[in-house]
Structure 1
């Protein structure tokens, strides 16, 4: 009986119920529900071909699509105390970090690289929403500051693509301290006359939207991105009023002066290249003359 159960039955099951497709062959759009061939979805920069919904993008694909010829160099980021508060809820914080690293292959929720966009050498930081919701802890703060320092060092513009649920609760006040620290780094860029451009992607909320995400010289957003501090439901319960249907969307914020441009992902590289060339044009010409 054991032989039949352990060997014959699994073999018969495999023959009679073959798995026709791998799990990751198709992607279901979160907006319209249409099934999209995964390879085509990635080739289309994670944009739904049916409804144009802009899905979230891993940092590597972002870098590949933004930099000229997909060529860039990652910047080594400082290491931080892994679990300063020895925090535990239903799981230990150290366990959550380990799980996020195994899932994403990244050390934390930010990556920084330097390369050329439209021929302009640029430092780009990208927040990874797949890593604990892109939450801002000490590692994200240190990564942002490292990117700003690199931009100052090579006299290049600094661009960040935000995607975050806010400050990382497992680090308490230490995560909130990153708000003023990143603000100081932005002021250093301003003092040096270097552009700081923010690209807001879905979602950008909480302490991130309350700090470096809203301090750019130029704010660009992807279509339909949710941008705000507290959630719509929380605000409605607090003020006891119904908010507009498109409240906290990129288009709503553009209409109310908080976002400068809403740019389709397929046009983002070209638009950034044009803006960077314009902002750095005088500096480039001066350097050439010297």
Structure 2
């Protein structure tokens, strides 16, 4: 953790909705005039797209049918921890981008599914913002969570997470339902061992819970809308959270435990703005005082 160079991390599974949380933070950064260094978790994968496919086949030949991006072996977690250490101490470090599609790859004159070269972080950033799979990972002599000043978990109920992933990968990336299902099954051991434990290390968790039937996510025609959901917000340390104010602003919300607020799904964005704006401003105030 760092006072002079704070780090915010959003951690969650593929299809969990971390990009939505990222947009809320970007609104805060823009409104408050803050320059954030964005770090995409995908940029710390160990393999590019073609190399990952080859490694998966090699692992299958060795009897490992569950090799996935969720596990540490497929990622540069030591390098990610070192980036957080370097940035926290001096505001410096090296970053790169993973080019998901042709649109992202075209300006770099590279193929989709490859990485850009490593580049130095420019001077003058106010904070670092990470979004990906491993923002609160710890194990094997690595403790990424320890380096993060504000860590947010995004954890839809598992059936909703699968529905969101199925719809995204089928409609936006052109995968078949069978291919997406195979990916979900292959990742499950790493999901249990390496993603779930992170949500016990986060400062705040957002869990979207559908209030419509999602019993069979593999036949769902639509993703449940915000109005068909509730959001469970859990604070690891509720000290300093003005729950009465949040309850008065977020109509239809309620508290279910001393550290847990439940809000209507349509108010998730507003809840994030109300909760995270003072947290970000507190980090910036501490930075200025230091």
Q: TM-score when scaled to structure 1? A: 0.33
Q: TM-score when scaled to structure 2? A: 0.33
Larger Rg: 1
